[in-house]
């Protein structure tokens, strides 16, 4: 019998190297070349290499789970590529924003390239949905750390497209998200992507940031509607009217006090959620099936996969229950933390929506900006700087 070998191990390092190079290129294109065209080219490359050639595996989005599992499961060692795919984009984001999202991530690249006519998502909806990635991240870590399943991988909408096959449901959800993505900019990145959530946090504290123009902002408002991803922020005074000051302070204090309560409530609710969540774990589910079918006759004839699984449990009833109990204890801890995390996310979001900002210029939000470089071309100062248009003396002939 033949034993065709798997992809050679060194390809892992090649992948990591390609990622590092792509990230470097992205940074250069964003900050030095400031070129949207260049980013489109990079997107197409990433889409082909990480997407269609590497079939979307390994990917940074899923690597979070590998790390979580490696931390909590002694029997599992995370591959080098998973660590590289997690650490490199985060490190870049901490210093220079979400360059990974701009054109290195095949998921981002795909959605960016298919965007045809972006519609503006109302701010309230955008903000309301923006908590989802964090919760998805929490759930992904919870289920990976408990060794249940990699939900982020199992429910990835685009990987079936890269593979050109997959479960019907996933293919359909991928197609649906793509059709939506033609009119809503990067729906997965903004409202679901758990790795995007991490990069958003990292980007918020990044040293360097993407600006519409490194030159002076003249507040011409031309870039106001340029961002299809709702990341453009308008100038703010940062100061409320004097009469509103006491009430806003009170509100903020209240929000700060309520957040710990939310965390506790979340933790409590999470603990209640533990038995249900644990059912997703194969060991617990098997124990459940085993107990539910105790005393019933063993099925005969052609056995279904479920019957065969049950048979396995019946051969080692004690082991089945002990394994299940172990997982359940893990889940108690896990769901408690997960609940607390949800509370924290809601509380933090609430507080951030209570804060006033001081901003003099039109600038992309540090966290939300995926560095796609679209807004650059909207800024007349930028175009002049890059020599695309010449500075004109008479204002009447320009678009202004």
Cβ proximity to other proteins, 242 vs 387, nearer residue: 242
**Span 45-104, contacts to other proteins by CB under 8 A:** 55, 57-59, 62, 65-67, 70-71, 74, 76-83, 87, 90-91, 94-95
Q: Which of 39, 88, 342, 370 binds other proteins (CB under 8 A)?
A: 342
Cβ proximity to other proteins, 33 vs 87, nearer residue: 87
Q: Report the distance separating Cα 145 and Cα 192, nearest Å.
A: 20
Distance of CA 379 to the CA centre of its chain: 29
For residue 398, give both structure tokens.
């320009």
Q: Shortest Cβ distance from residue 99 to other proteins (Å)?
A: 16
**Is the peptide bond between 100 and the residue preceding it cis, with omega within 30 degrees of 0?**
no
Q: Which of 119, 120, 169, 234 binds other proteins (CB under 8 A)?
A: 234
Q: Which of 37, 120, 208, 221 binds other proteins (CB under 8 A)?
A: 221
Q: Shortest Cβ distance from residue 86 to other proteins (Å)?
A: 9
**Span 253-312, contacts to other proteins by CB under 8 A:** 269, 272-273, 275-276, 278-279, 282, 284, 287-288, 291-292, 294-298, 300-301, 303-306, 308-309, 311-312
Cβ proximity to other proteins, 217 vs 291, nearer residue: 291
**Span 130-169, contacts to other proteins by CB under 8 A:** 131-132, 135, 149-150, 153-154, 160, 163-168
Q: Shortest Cβ distance from residue 164 to other proteins (Å)?
A: 5
**Span 18-47, contacts to other proteins by CB under 8 A:** none
Q: Which residues contact 231 (CB under 8 A, 6 or more apart)?
A: 364, 365, 368, 369, 370
For residue 363, give both structure tokens.
């600038």
Beta pairing, strands 232-233 & 363-364? antiparallel
CB 139 within 8 A of CB 338: yes
Q: Does 113 bind other proteins (CB under 8 A)?
A: yes
Q: Report the distance separating Cα 40 and Cα 53, nearest Å.
A: 18
Q: Report the distance separating Cα 154 and Cα 163, nearest Å.
A: 13
Q: Report the distance separating Cα 359 and Cα 25, nearest Å.
A: 30
According to DSSP, the residues that pair with 363 across neighbouring strands are 233
Q: Shortest Cβ distance from residue 265 to other proteins (Å)?
A: 9
Nearest to 139 by CA among 273, 288, 287: 273
**Span 354-393, contacts to other proteins by CB under 8 A:** 354-358, 360, 378
Q: Which of 32, 117, 390, 397 binds other proteins (CB under 8 A)?
A: 117
Q: Report the distance separating Cα 149 and Cα 147, nearest Å.
A: 6
Sign of the Cα torsion 151, 156, 157, 162 reads negative
**Span 168-207, contacts to other proteins by CB under 8 A:** 168, 175, 182, 201-202, 204-207
Cβ proximity to other proteins, 24 vs 282, nearer residue: 282
Q: Which of 217, 321, 333, 383 binds other proteins (CB under 8 A)?
A: 321
Q: Report the distance separating Cα 120 and Cα 226, nearest Å.
A: 10
Q: Which residues contact 46 (CB under 8 A, 6 or more apart)?
A: 22, 103, 104, 105, 106, 109
Is 363 in a helix, a strand, or coil? strand
Q: Shortest Cβ distance from residue 107 to other proteins (Å)?
A: 14
Q: Report the distance separating Cα 321 and Cα 334, nearest Å.
A: 19
Cβ proximity to other proteins, 3 vs 390, nearer residue: 3
Nearest to 370 by CA among 111, 124, 176: 111
- Binding part of the chain for other proteins, among 24-32, 100-108, 352-360, 389-397 by CB under 8 A, reads 352-360
Q: Shortest Cβ distance from residue 340 to other proteins (Å)?
A: 13
Residue 177 has a CB neighbour count (10 Å cut-off) of 19
Q: Shortest Cβ distance from residue 113 to other proteins (Å)?
A: 7
Q: Shortest Cβ distance from residue 146 to other proteins (Å)?
A: 13
Q: Shortest Cβ distance from residue 308 to other proteins (Å)?
A: 4
- Binding part of the chain for other proteins, among 17-25, 31-39, 315-323, 382-390 by CB under 8 A, reads 315-323
Q: Shortest Cβ distance from residue 31 to other proteins (Å)?
A: 18
């Amino acid at each position: 019998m033949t034993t065709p070998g798997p992809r050679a191990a060194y390809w892992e390092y090649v992948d990591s190297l390609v990622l590092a190079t792509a990230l470097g290129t992205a940074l250069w294109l964003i900050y030095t070349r400031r070129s949207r065209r260049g980013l489109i080219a990079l997107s197409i490359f990433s889409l082909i290499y990480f997407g269609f050639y590497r079939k979307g595996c390994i990917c940074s989005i899923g690597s979070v789970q590998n790390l979580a599992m490696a931390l909590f499961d002694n029997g599992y060692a995370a591959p080098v590529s998973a660590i590289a795919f997690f650490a490199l984009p985060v490190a870049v984001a901490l210093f220079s924003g979400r360059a990974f999202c701009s054109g290195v991530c095949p998921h981002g690249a795909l959605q960016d390239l298919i965007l045809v006519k972006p519609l503006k998502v109302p701010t309230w909806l955008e903000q309301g949905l923006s908590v989802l990635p964090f919760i998805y991240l929490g759930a992904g870590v919870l289920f990976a750390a408990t060794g249940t399943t990699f939900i982020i991988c199992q429910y990835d909408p685009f990987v079936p497209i890269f593979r050109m096959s997959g479960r019907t449901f996933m293919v359909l959800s991928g197609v649906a998200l793509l059709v939506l993505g033609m009119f809503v900019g990067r729906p997965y990145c903004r409202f679901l992507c758990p790795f995007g959530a991490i990069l958003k946090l990292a980007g918020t504290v990044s040293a360097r940031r993407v600006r519409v123009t490194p030159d002076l902002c003249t507040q011409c408002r031309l870039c106001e509607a340029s961002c299809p991803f709702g990341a453009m922020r308008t100038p703010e005074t940062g100061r409320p009217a004097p009469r509103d000051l006491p009430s806003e302070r009170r509100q903020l204090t209240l929000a700060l006090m309520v957040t710990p309560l939310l965390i506790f409530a979340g933790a409590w609710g999470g603990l209640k959620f533990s038995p249900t969540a644990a059912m997703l774990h194969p060991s617990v589910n098997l124990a459940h099936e085993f107990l539910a079918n105790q005393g019933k006759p063993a099925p005969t004839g052609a056995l279904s996969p479920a019957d065969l699984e049950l048979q396995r449990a019946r051969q080692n009833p004690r082991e089945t229950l002990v394994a299940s109990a172990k997982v359940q204890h893990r889940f108690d801890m896990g769901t408690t933390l997960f609940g607390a995390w949800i509370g924290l996310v809601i509380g933090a979001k609430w507080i951030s929506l209570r804060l006033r900002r001081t901003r003099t210029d039109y600038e992309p939000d540090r966290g939300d900006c995926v560095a796609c470089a679209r807004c650059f071309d909207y800024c007349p100062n930028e175009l002049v700087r890059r020599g695309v248009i010449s500075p004109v003396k008479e204002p009447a002939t320009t678009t202004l």
